[in-house]
Amino acid sequence: DAGVTQSPTHLIKTRGQQVTLRCSPKSGHDTVSWYQQALGQGPQFIFQYYEEEERQRGNFPDRFSGHQFPNYSSELNVNALLLGDSALYLCASSLGGPQLLQYFGAGTRLSVL
Amino acid sequence: AQSVTQLDSQVPVFEEAPVELRCNYSSSVSVYLFWYVQYPNQGLQLLLKYLSGSTLVKGINGFEAEFNKSQTSFHLRKPSVHISDTAEYFCAVSDVGTSGTYKYIFGTGTRLKVLA
């Protein structure tokens, strides 16, 4: 049974570029949440998708956007990258809507130069 | 909104000694609490969770935590640590949004370093 998978594992971009990160939820899960973990910090909630709609959003600018596909996989897009966007981006999935128990992937480490 | 405070940014401890990692949360009518471990260059692994019931929660790798409602704390303990326990530990609380959906609020983490 595959867990939450994220791709790519590492990514290097330059300021001003755009990036897309991908997440496949755990088998059977239909809800995906995205978190940003800056170096030395705890993860911070970006947003959450369920039934292909954004259900909840954290305190992140509109440069951060997302999408959920009919197969429940999800993408996180970040436009106009800033140096401060360098972080580990974690995806978490849950079953039956945004539930208490979320399962995390290994993350995508984004470096912005 | 919920918040989580991890009081110690770093905790050094000798191998086979006991350890306690502290976590306090903001008060709420109902609260769901979690401890996660993160090894270098890896994602988050769930150690244990408190949803309801017994206030003493046992998790993986010999860890346990006690939910204390009066002190709004959820401290993590292990009676005897190993070198392999060296990692970053995060306390998290589940926060309910206006639409009834859940997200996690994490603390800033405690780096546990086990010394030989």
User: B68-105: per-residue pLDDT in tens?
Assistant: 999 999 999 999 999 999 999 999 998 877 667 788 99
| DSSP 8-state code for residue A83 | G
Choose which CATH entry (3.60.10.10, 2.60.40.10, 3.30.2290.10, 3.40.190.290) describes domain A5-112.
2.60.40.10
**Which range marks the domain in which residue B58 is found?**
4-115
- A6–chain B nearest CA distance, Å: 10
Which band of pLDDT confidence, cut at 50, 70 and 90, is reported for residue A47? very high
Instruction: Identify the pLDDT of residue B63.
Output: 97
Say if strands A10-13 and A108-112 run parallel, antiparallel, or are unpaired. Answer: parallel
Interchain CB distance below 8 Å, B43 and A44: no
B48 C-beta neighbours (distance < 10 Å), count: 19
Largest CA distance in chain A: 39
DSSP assignment string, A54-94: EEEE-S--TTEEEEE-TTS-EEEEE-S--GGG-EEEEEEEE
Q: What is the pLDDT of residue B24?
A: 96
At A84 the pLDDT is 96
Interface of B with A in 33-72 (CB under 8 A): 36, 41-46, 49, 51
Contact B43 A99 (CB under 8 A): no
Average pLDDT over residues B34-57: 90
Closest chain A CA to residue B39: A106
The beta-carbon neighbor of A43 closest among B41, B101, B106 is B106
Q: Which of B42, B104, B105, B111 to mutate to test the interface with A (most CBs of A within 10 A)?
A: B104
Q: Which residue has the higher pLDDT, B100 or B12?
A: B12
Q: What are the pLDDT digits (tens) for A53-109?
A: 998 899 999 999 999 999 999 999 999 999 999 999 999 998 865 567 889 999 999
Average pLDDT of the residues of chain B: 91
CB-CB: which of A56, A90, A107 is closest to B99? A56
Give me the phi and psi of A40, to 5 degrees please: 75, 10
Of A20-24, A109-113, B24-28, B46-50, the poorest mean pLDDT is in B24-28
pLDDT tens-digit map of B54-66? 899 999 999 999 9
Q: What is the pLDDT of residue B1?
A: 73
- The answer to whether the Cβ–Cβ distance between A43 and B90 falls below 8 Å is yes
Q: Which of B43, B49, B99 is closest, CB to CB, to A106? A: B43
* Pairwise CA distance, residues B57 & B67, whole Å: 8
Q: Which two tokens stand for residue A58?
A: 């954290």
Cross-chain CB nearest to A42 (options B45, B102, B106): B106
In the beta sheet, which residues pair with residue B47? none
Q: What is the CATH number of the domain that holds B67?
A: 2.60.40.10
Number of domains in chain B: 1
Closest by alpha carbon to B62, among B50, B80, B74, B75?
B80
- Cα atoms found within 13 Å of the Cα of residue B98, Cβ hemisphere only: 3
pLDDT at B102: 81
